Amino acid sequence: MKLRTVVAALALVAGGTTLAAEPPAAPSATPVKRPTLKSCNKEATAKQLSGKPREQFVRDCTAGKTRSGAPPAAH
């Protein structure tokens, strides 16, 4: 009975080290870099936006829906 326990424990340890030795999977594609809130706020300030238009612009900007230099979409 003790021999089975020892063999089972060794099998678990050997299997665990095999899994731990595998390198992590590399990402398949470069993630899309979205603008930060700070950069979107700077851009909104440069465009002299305030109130609801500013809020909408910053929301769209941080979501990656606007392009630099393009006016914010009117909804």
Q: What is the pLDDT of residue 39?
A: 92
> What's the pLDDT tens digit per position in 59-71?
999 888 876 544 5
Q: Give dist(CA 4, CA 34) in Å, integer.
A: 55
11-17 mean pLDDT = 65
Do the domain assignments include residue 15?
no
Do the domain assignments include residue 8?
no
Q: What is the pLDDT of residue 75?
A: 46
Do the domain assignments include residue 70?
yes
How many domains does the chain divide into? Answer: 1
Q: Spell out the SS3 assignment of 14-52.
A: HHHHHHHHCCCCCCCCCCCCCCCHHHHHHHHHHCCCCHH
Q: Which domain holds residue 49?
A: 33-75
Do the domain assignments include residue 12?
no
Do the domain assignments include residue 60?
yes
Do the domain assignments include residue 24?
no
